[in-house]
Structure 1
Amino acid sequence: MVTSPQSARPGDDSWRGKTVVIIGAGQAGASAALRLRRQGFDGEIILVGEEPSAPYQRPPLSKKYLTGEIGETQLLLKSESVFGEQSIQLLTGCRVTGIDRAARLVYLSGGRPPLKYWRLVFATGGKARPLPESVAESFDNVMTFRSLEDARKIRASLQPGMHMLVIGGGYIGLETAATGRKLGVDVTLVESADRILRRVSCEATADYFRDLHLRNGVRILEGAALRGIEGEGRQARLARLDDGSEIVFDLAVVGIGLMPDTELAEAAGIDCASGIVVDGYERTSDPFIFAAGDCAVFDYRGAPTRLESVQNAIEQAEHLADSLLDMAPSPYSPHPWFWSDQYDVKLQIAGFNRGYSQVVQVPGARAGSVSNWYLRGGRMIAVDAINDPRAFMQAKRWLGNGEDVREEQIIGIAGAAAV
């Protein structure tokens, strides 16, 4: 059970001279740190990141960074000087080795002295799910895709005419496949489920993107479970599927999901269940420790939920900062939205389609644009807007206003778009 901390109120002296330590220098960690400053916190803020780079954006890694359209400087959330100007101490390339909750100490790698905290924040995000050891040994050319370092390795490996095997038919796999084709790479994508996007979208959306990739030359194998990967030395060369077929490749990219990074929290005795459990104010089972972003699981409409998105990382982290200073007027209640860019197609998702019972498809105003609307109990809960920003914005407004939108209203926007 999550208990309530003794948070400081703005204007009190209780937080003066105190230290907030944030573990994780990604989107959530950086957002929490900057929000604390904007809200008037003048104590010490220490942002600890295991990666050697300053906080950066992850979404462009599988798209414009991989194609070389943008460089690493353009990935940065803020320049390092901004953190300095805000008196946020940024410790990059620094690993947290343990937490002493009784003494409120964070232990660091490299012989650094421990950090004493007034409040501690977990913004540890997630790790790319690897292939089981029974399927693949450690090969240099079989790579997961999560970090900037992963993107560097994949980008350096991609050459026109080579054959890339993409394992996983979720968004990261499909985006990687699309980028590979743009670079002139031959691509085979394998998905163990009966269709791509099984976990995150309806069949109509999956059909659209399957057709898109097939038209762009991607070979897609669905219901194709990977039995093993073989090679010589550090180089893999062959993937075997359960049906006995084989795929020869030069590079394999694994995109089979994200695991919340809860290792430190679990070792410290914090309640975890498919993520670090937090209440509506981002408070963990320890009254002095908070969590936000991909690592945090919270109650969303009656069910434990983790939201893996930039929007959630920012908004939940900012709500956390407000909560830490006792400035949040109400529990965190997001209106989720997501996006994916593949070739010249932009998918924009508003809402959360969990538990949908019906899908209504509405053609957009432009050729090739369409929106798939999810309903539960006759009420709209989400939309997949494909090259249809109008439908996306309409859905965001409806969801944001808490409107009870029914099928007739959804169908009505098709007529309005045609006018």
Structure 2
Amino acid sequence: MSTFDTPELRAFRAEVRDFLQHNLTPDLVLATRGGLHMEREPMARWQKALNARGWGGPHWPKALGGTGWTELQRYIFEEESAFADAPLGDVHGLFLAGPMIIAAGSAAQQARYLPKVLAGEEFWCQGFSETNAGSDLASLKTTARLEGDEWVINGHKTWLSSGHHADLMFCLARTDSEVKPQAGLTQFIIDMRSPGISLQPILTMDEGHSVNAVFFDNVRTHRDNVIGELNHGWTYAKELLARERVNNAQGPRTKRDIVELDRMARTRLGVDGKPLIEDPLVRRRLAILTADFVALESAALGVLAQQMAGNEPGPAASTLKIRGSELQQRVSETAMSLLGQSGVVLAPEYGGGLLAPDATGWAERHFFRRVVTIYAGANEIQKTIIAKSILDM
């Protein structure tokens, strides 16, 4: 009997599938299929529906509003959600800010912020990267100084994903410049409506608006808005980034994409009038993608087993991030190859008669996925982590 093939897990999968069939509306499915840059309203609406069912935080502890599911149940939920084309929701709140506040935040912070994340009422963004501090995060220049009961923050952040949708930011800033770079950083909660914050959109090559630059000009936040201990922000950031890298592997969503590629190859015709799947080169390409995904999923399940035993993913998170991001890029490259001329149109409203229904969203994903090997720590940095931590180089 396989890991997933138990009576209890089969019943759980059926329960999730039934919920999705009865609650996931066609407009939410179309919004998910239409591309990566979803608006806030459909994400919030779906999060509210999940929370009403008690499923708002699949990986959160039950005592703080989560489901109390095992890692295997969570994986099944994510897989079923991916195949049903359900929205991801506020990734920064659910997977990053929420878990960090659960792990290091005060009881008051947990009571104030966690319920609104689960209910889809407040969205978050991540204030880490700067112009000269991306993968080398410890070199960031944004500063925070204490004045009375408030911290005054100055500096800037860039590549701020979903910053234009966010109500709140968890921000890493320098609070001590006299110690080594990693030792003088602190995590802050900042209201995005605070005076002194200016947000500038950055349009990416896929013509989408998902990232921004933000500037802090004497932005004030109360001293109670420090997450965890002062000058321990680097520790929390490392733990957060490890979780982010595991999540960025996007196993269930990639699995759904590969199944879609197989369907596409069986229904689309080549220049010879035959289904593309009859081309040996197409079959070989799909077979390699499938084999590589099986390897990725096996590795991901190994990390889940570690987490179920109470262990952090550690350097294995870097391996998942590398393989998962590279596979996402190869999947979208294959989709564009199969779609041919139909794949060059970015959005349905462009018209022109070129866009096939199964092409919707693929060009956007293909262009934007150039960045998946960079964010959450560039893959080159991940290889260095693996070399030092696993290979002892």
Q: Is TM-score (shorter-chain normalized) higher than 0.5?
A: no
The structure with the largest helix share of the pair is 2
TM range (shorter): under 0.3
The structure with the largest strand share of the pair is 1
Task: Provide TM-score, normalisation by structure 1.
Answer: 0.25
Task: Provide TM-score, normalisation by structure 2.
Answer: 0.26
Q: Which has the higher contact order (CA 8 A, sep 6+)?
A: 1
Greater Rg by CA: 1
